[in-house]
Amino acid sequence: MRILIGKRIEEVDSVEFENLIKGYKSLIIDIGTGEGEFVYKKAKQDKDAMFIGIDTSVDSMQQYSLKSAKKPEKGGLKNVVYMVANADNLPDDLLCKADKIFINLPWGSLRDGIIKGEHSFLNSIRKIAKENASLEIYISYCNLYEKQEIESRSLPTLTDSYLCNELKAIYKRYGINITQVSVLNNEDLKKIETKWAKKLGYGKKRDVFYMNCKIQK
């Protein structure tokens, strides 16, 4: 697997990865981490857990990768790792490792896979989860602001009914049980520790859908 340390990508084997995550009470993964701010701040709050931010964009993750690689007195953290990987084909070294998985406001192919319930994405998520791991998803798009995107990507209309019925049935086939669906607002967006969430939160009024799931193996 490929780990980003500062600006340097390192190939890490299974033994090295096990040593990296050894000794922590839980492993928490953020898929589509973007800049990696979310896992960095979570890691700062909970030193007993190991946090992994996963994204395909090395450039996006560099700022917080560099920050976490510094000495502790300068903001460095040992319990956060940035991994370069595709969400629909996550490394086998993560097999049955995750206690908790976050997907915060996905876009592009990640969003499409999550909201359409595509096999590659759901299978990849299930693969890395422990028994009874939790999965939290925040997602937002609408005809008012993203009409062209919705039409060009053939996205389903984002509604409570769609998530609680059609998508719930698809997820269940992968052992992912949607246990809660909530509609949040801009004020709730501002509380999510990513720059994209705050940009949307301080922007035009919109609904944000939150799904809490439990994963059975």
List pLDDT tens digits, range 144-193: 889 999 999 999 999 999 999 999 999 999 999 999 999 988 888 888 88
Residues 6+ apart with CB under 8 A from 60: 34, 35, 36
Other beta carbons within 10 Å of 187: 8
Strand partners, 10: 3
CATH assignment at residue 185: 3.40.50.150
Which residue did the predictor score with more confidence, 215 or 186? 215
**What is this structure's pTM?**
0.94
Q: Which amino acid is at 120?
A: S
Phi and psi torsions of 64, nearest 5°: -80, -25
Instruction: Cite the beta strand spans of 114-215 per DSSP E.
Output: 129-139, 176-184, 208-215
Q: Which two tokens stand for residue 131?
A: 């028994």
With 0-12 / 13-18 / 19 or more C-beta atoms within 10 angstroms meaning exposed / middle / buried, residue 98 is buried
Count of domains observed in the chain = 1
The pLDDT > 90 percentage for the chain reads 87
State the pLDDT at residue 199: 85
Confidence of residue 45 (pLDDT cuts 50, 70, 90): very high
The per-residue pLDDT for 148 is: 94
Say if residues 129 and 214 touch (Cβ distance below 8 Å): no
From CA 77, how far away is CA 47, in angstroms rounded?
9
Instruction: Tell me whether strands 2-5 and 8-11 are parallel, antiparallel or unpaired.
Output: antiparallel
Q: What is the pLDDT of residue 197?
A: 86
Q: Is 34 left (phi over 0), alpha (psi -120 to 50) or beta?
A: left
Q: Which domain holds residue 156?
A: 2-215
Ramachandran angles phi, psi of 87, nearest 5°: -65, -30
CA angle 125, 90, 26 (to 5 degrees): 65
Question: How does pLDDT run across 117-144, given as a tens digit for each residue?
Answer: 999 999 999 999 999 999 999 999 988 8
